[in-house]
Amino acid sequence: MLLPRAWRRRVQAITLVRMIANVLLETTLGAIPVAGDVFHIFWKANRRNYRLLIRDKEQPGANTERDWMFLAIILFTIIAAAGIPIGVLIWILRSQ
């Protein structure tokens, strides 16, 4: 697994967080029957993490804005996925 190697190489924190997010995203969405299999075909977390590790080695500090944007989109998606159903439930309960 690449995460312990990245930790030992002391990659930037944002790169390590993005690598963890890649693995969590693949694990979470990969657990969905059929759709997860299709997602897994297109989203290879280990390949992405390897590229991130090489990028951090060759160009330290490169693309950190892109990494932050990726993490912001994932965080927004998680908040929306949890918040929208809760908001709809509250709206339904108050309208009765």
User: Domain range spanning residue 87?
Assistant: 2-95
Q: Which residue type is seen at 25? A: L
Cβ-contact 12, 56 below 8 angstroms: yes
pLDDT tens string 40-89: 888 888 899 999 889 888 888 777 888 899 999 999 998 999 899 999 99
52: which residues sit within 8 A by CB, 6+ positions away? 6, 11, 15, 18, 19, 22
Domain tally for the chain?
A: 1
CA neighbor of 63 nearest in space, from 2, 12, 10: 12
pLDDT (0 to 100) of residue 61? 74
pLDDT tens string 31-40: 999 998 898 8
pTM, two decimals, is 0.76
pLDDT (0 to 100) of residue 13? 87
Say whether pLDDT at 20 is over 80: yes
Question: What's the distance, Cα to Cα, between the start and end of the chain in Å?
Answer: 52
pLDDT (0 to 100) of residue 40? 85
CA neighbor of 23 nearest in space, from 45, 3, 48: 45
CA distances from 83 to 73, 87, 90 (A): 15, 6, 10
